[in-house]
Amino acid sequence: MAAAIWGAAYPLTKGALAEVPPLLLGTGRFALAGLVLMVFTRSLPLQDIALQDRRPMVSLAFWGTFILTLGMNFGLRWAPATAASILSGTPPLFTIFLAAAWLGEPIQRRHFPAFILAIIGIALLAQDGGEGAPGWRSWIGCLLTLIPQIAWAIYSVLGKAVLSRYPWPLICRDTFVLGALMLAPTALIEVAIIGPGNWTPASIGVLLYLGILNSVVTYGLWNRALSTIPVTTASFILYLQPLTGAILGAILFHDRLGVEGIGGAILIFTAVTLVLR
């Protein structure tokens, strides 16, 4: 369920960005999610968090909310929804090397060919671009869409120690609320320059989907899953999310991958399989 909800976020967000500004949408999403968790935990941001852990919480908010939103919402303006959904399966590739650099976790030999396969696959996806997408715009969109994948990997590595000391609702409460506060000034500047956009029932529905289902519910499902099945099994299931997003992208935007795009997708899935073996 978490994989399906996360996978659908890419094409749904792309649709909403045609009507509303990207930074305003991101700020609204995480402000809503943070508010829900404050009500759920009956607490305020950084409450019940030790002083020595508050700075790490700010770092988690910066990477897991602020940078993630910038990359995802701006990248989806140009990246085809199907290609962006497939790229959402790449965080394990970046996590491997970040964990080795920061945590001293060993790199295995198969990780290097996996990384090379993934880079080639990403290049093929960007070159394909989907129907009607100009090549250079697709390239920029795909590169920007990689930013939230790297940000999620950094978030996972930085949060490893914090996650062992606090329950997920508190960590997500602070990640969402602090991240929304970081995004708010940029969103205000955006609104002053281009206006608030056209908030239709569809875009409001996407905001509710992103804030509640895609942010709060999925974290609950994911952590509940980890309490009953091994993390490696959960990881394999999670990487069904690119498939969900690709299917929805084909339905909503009539995205069609050509030979290059299909080849790139196969290479990326192969690389992820090598990493998660």
pLDDT at 216 over 70: yes
**What pLDDT does residue 236 have?**
58
Summarised one tens digit per residue, pLDDT across range 178-198 is 999 999 999 999 999 999 999
Summarised one tens digit per residue, pLDDT across range 39-80 is 999 999 999 999 999 999 999 999 999 999 999 999 888 887
In this structure, are residues 238 and 91 in contact, taking their beta carbons and an 8 Å threshold? Answer: no
**pTM for this structure?**
0.81
Give the burial class of 228: count Cβ atoms within 10 A of its Cβ; 0-12 exposed, 13-18 middle, 19 or more buried.
exposed
Number of H helices, E strands in the chain: 14, 0
**Helices 168-194 and 135-163: angle between axes, nearest 10 degrees:** 150
Sign of CA dihedral 100, 147, 262, 140: negative
**Whole-angstrom Cα distance, residue 123 to residue 117?**
10
